Amino acid sequence: MTETGAKSAHIPWPPLISLAGVVISIVLGLFYPLPWIGGVLADLLFAIGGLMILATLALWFTAIRLMIRAGTTLNPTGTPEHFLTNGPFAVSRNPIYLGNVVLLLGLGLMTGNPWFLLLAFIVGFLTAKLAIAGEEHILAAKFGKRYRDYSRRVRRWI
C-alpha cells in the first residue's frame, strides 16, 4: 500500500479482490450465464483449466515457501524485510498475484463460465492499481537501487 493512502493501507486488497472476483463470477454465471464452447474443445479447455489451477497451487506454494524461508512478511499490507529475486520471483515480481489471476482463468476454463475469464482481467487490473503500485513504491524506498535494478530485469506479471 502507498504511504500516502493511509486510510487503505491496512486493507489486504489482493486476497479480497481475488475472492470478490470468484464470488462475482459465480453469481453472474448463475443469474446471467453466457454461452460456452461444447464438445471435444470443451474437454480440452477443462483439462487446460485444471493444469492452470495446479500451476497456481505450485506457484503459490513455491513463492510462499521462499518468503517464509527469507523471513519476510506474507501480509500484503506488511512491511517487507527482504525482497526476493529467485524462484518464481525471477520471472514475476508478483508471483502470488499472478497465481490469483491464473486461478480465475483456470476456474473459467474448467467450469465453462466465461465470467471468470472477464473477471480475471479486472482482478489483475485492480490488484495492480490498489496493491502493486503501492507495494512497489515501498520496496523502491526501502531497497533503493537493488529494487529498481530488479524491477528493470523482471516484469510485474510475466
Question: What digits encode the pLDDT tens for the residues 77-119?
Answer: 888 888 899 999 999 999 999 999 999 999 999 999 999 999 9
Question: What confidence tier does 10 reach under pLDDT thresholds 50, 70, 90?
Answer: low
At 20-73, the pLDDT tens digits run 999 999 999 999 999 999 999 999 999 999 999 999 999 999 999 999 999 998
Other C-beta atoms lying within 10 Å of the C-beta of residue 109: 25
Q: 30-44: b or e for each residue (b if 16 or more CB lie within 10 Å)?
A: eeeeeeeeeeeeeee
Q: Cα–Cα distance between 15 and 33 in angstroms, integer?
A: 25
What is the dihedral angle through the alpha carbons of 95, 100, 104, 109, rounded to the nearest 10 degrees?
A: 30
143 C-beta neighbours (distance < 10 Å), count: 16
**pLDDT in the model for residue 4:** 38
Is the distance from CB of 135 to CB of 76 less than 8 angstroms?
Answer: yes
From CA 83, how far away is CA 89, in angstroms rounded?
9
The per-residue pLDDT for 3 is 39
